[in-house]
Amino acid sequence: MKHTLSVLLQNKPGVLSRVTGLFSGRGFNIKSLCVAETLDPSLSCLTLVTNGNDAIVEQITKQLHKLIDVIKVTDISEGEFVEREMALIRVKAENTTRAEVLRVIDIFRGKVVDVSSKSYSVEVTGSANKIQAIIDILRPIGIKEIVRTGTIAMARMPKK
């Protein structure tokens, strides 16, 4: 099952390496990982997506809690949550394909962030599924390069 973990940790050298080490020590692959500063520059927030057996993910969560520089671990996928990802995609855009590329970008509410005579670079955001959908559509036209952030997630708030 896919798990999205949100981990609040001290922004210090070595912490990230200990966190990722916990996963690799179990031969457990990390599907995507993002880590960046929070409002408090001494703390970082790490979002990690892994496909794994529930029991092992629970075990890793417990071991994450034990790391001294880890402040909080939440398995966001246990409740309702918003997940988003961003990708930069450089796609072939020559005379004959440019109009079609722009139509696709428009449908997915992407933004062109760089243009050359042979390609467009596009920024697109959405769920992992949406990113996959635009990739699948642009691929036959010719994707030259792609960089994805990986997923970040936030728990949904009760509506009342």
Least CB distance to a copy of itself at residue 87 (A): 8
Cβ pair 53, 4 in contact under 8 A: no
Cβ pair 93, 118 in contact under 8 A: yes
Least CB distance to a copy of itself at residue 69 (A): 11
Interhelix angle 128-138/98-107, rounded to 10 degrees, is 170
Q: In a 3-state reduction of DSSP, which class is residue 144?
A: strand
Least CB distance to a copy of itself at residue 141 (A): 13
CA dist 114 and 78 (Å) reads: 39
CA dist 51 and 3 (Å) reads: 6
Least CB distance to a copy of itself at residue 86 (A): 4
Site for a copy of itself in 109-148 (CB under 8 A): 113-119, 121, 123, 125, 135, 139, 143, 145-148
> Residue 95 interacts with a copy of itself (CB under 8 A)?
no
Among positions 3, 5, 9, 47, the unique one binding a copy of itself when judged by CB under 8 A:
47
Q: In a 3-state reduction of DSSP, which class is residue 83?
A: strand
Binding range to a copy of itself, per CB under 8 A, among 14-22, 54-62, 63-71, 94-102: 14-22
CA dist 147 and 9 (Å) reads: 25
Name the residues that contact a copy of itself, by CB under 8 A: 6, 11-17, 20-21, 23-24, 26-39, 45, 47, 82, 84-88, 90, 113-119, 121, 123, 125, 135, 139, 143, 145-150, 152-154, 156-160
